[in-house]
């Protein structure tokens, strides 16, 4: 998949050092075969054995996201699937701090519903097709495409995408209490490849250096 040797070399320089040599080799092979696509569920997702707490990149049910109603200036709450953007260390309850950290979560939008909304709003069909193509190729900087999640023939979550530009910050204690009372049970975690791609896309969205603005006095 990666045809540019220079780009591939840059990617492999940032392989997580905590991975075993075997895991590093698997990730490098996965990057070479798939990057930057995220259309294969068995490549992007994994069910972690340790379910004692949440991890960066986890998809969670029923996260409350505020939406500003421009007509009345009031916020309305939408409960959506969310993707944890905060570092795993910030989520871990054993990491005590003077002030409780806020955990950043981005909404995960079902693709079919979003496309229907574009169509109903009068967006040209060719533009919609181009959007979907760019999304699935991960060429849109503020979005990350996720394939549908199936288990035993049942769809647990439709194909969708994460919106990095619409996050919510919730107290870590709220995240740690997610369950039947609060909503937010984990749907799935990301594989090493899925996690790497998430970090890569987050870096591009939030941390691009080549903005073309001269900032010296």
| DSSP for residue 80 | E
Q: What is the pLDDT of residue 180?
A: 45
Predicted pLDDT at 207 = 82
pLDDT at residue 201 in the model: 92
Distance of alpha carbon 85 from alpha carbon 107, whole angstroms: 10
pTM (two decimals): 0.86
Encode 141-153: b = buried (16+ Cβ within 10 Å), e = exposed.
Answer: eebbbbbebeeee
Contact predicate 131/138, CB 8 Å: no
Q: Parallel, antiparallel, or unpaired for β 143-146 and 160-163?
A: antiparallel
Range scoring the smallest mean pLDDT among 23-27, 55-59, 174-178, 205-209: 174-178
Q: State yes or no: pLDDT of 6 exceeds 80.
A: no
The whole-number pLDDT of residue 28 equals: 87
Nearest to 36 by CA among 209, 210, 166, 198: 198
* pLDDT at residue 110 greater than cutoff 90: yes
Residue 5 binned pLDDT confidence (cut-offs 50, 70, 90): low
Q: Which fold has domain 36-206?
A: SH3 type barrels. (2.30.30)
Domain boundaries, the chain: 36-206
Dihedral over alpha carbons 125, 129, 134, 140 (to 10 degrees): 30
Separation CA 32–CA 60 (nearest Å): 29
Q: What is the tens place of the pLDDT at every residue in 38-73?
A: 999 999 999 877 767 788 999 998 899 998 888 888
Q: What's residue 11's pLDDT?
A: 74
Higher pLDDT, 199 or 16: 199
**pLDDT greater at residue 116 or residue 31:** 116
In contact, 83 and 108? CB cutoff 8 Å:
yes
48-53, long-range: CB < 8 A, 24+ apart: 48/189, 51/186, 53/91, 53/92, 53/93, 53/176
Residue 56 burial by Cβ neighbours in a 10 Å radius (0-12, 13-18, 19+): buried
Q: Which two tokens stand for residue 146?
A: 């996720």
132-191 pLDDT, tens digit per residue, is 999 999 999 999 999 998 888 888 899 999 999 999 999 888 777 765 455 458 889 999
**By C-alpha distance, which of 13, 41, 39 is closest to 27?**
13
């Amino acid at each position: 998949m990666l045809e540019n040797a220079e780009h591939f070399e840059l990617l492999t320089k940032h392989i997580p050092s905590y991975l075993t040599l075997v895991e590093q080799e698997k990730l490098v092979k996965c990057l070479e075969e798939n990057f930057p696509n995220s259309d294969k569920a068995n490549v992007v997702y994994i069910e972690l054995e340790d379910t004692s707490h949440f991890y960066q990149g986890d998809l969670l049910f029923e996260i409350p996201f505020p939406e500003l109603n421009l007509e009345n200036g009031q916020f309305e709450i939408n409960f959506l699937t969310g993707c944890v953007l905060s570092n795993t260390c910030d989520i871990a309850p054993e990491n005590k701090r003077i002030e409780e950290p806020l955990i950043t979560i981005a909404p995960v939008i079902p693709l079919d519903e979003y496309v229907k909304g574009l169509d109903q709003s009068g967006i040209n069909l060719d533009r919609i097709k181009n959007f979907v193509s760019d999304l699935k190729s991960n060429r849109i900087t503020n979005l990350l495409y996720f394939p549908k999640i199936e288990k035993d023939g049942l769809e647990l979550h439709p194909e969708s995408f994460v919106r990095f530009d619409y996050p919510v910050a919730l107290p870590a204690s709220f995240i740690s209490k997610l369950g039947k009372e609060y909503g937010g049970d984990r749907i799935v975690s990301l594989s090493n490849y899925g996690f790497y791609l998430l970090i890569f896309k987050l870096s591009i969205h939030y941390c691009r250096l080549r903005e073309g603005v001269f900032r010296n006095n």
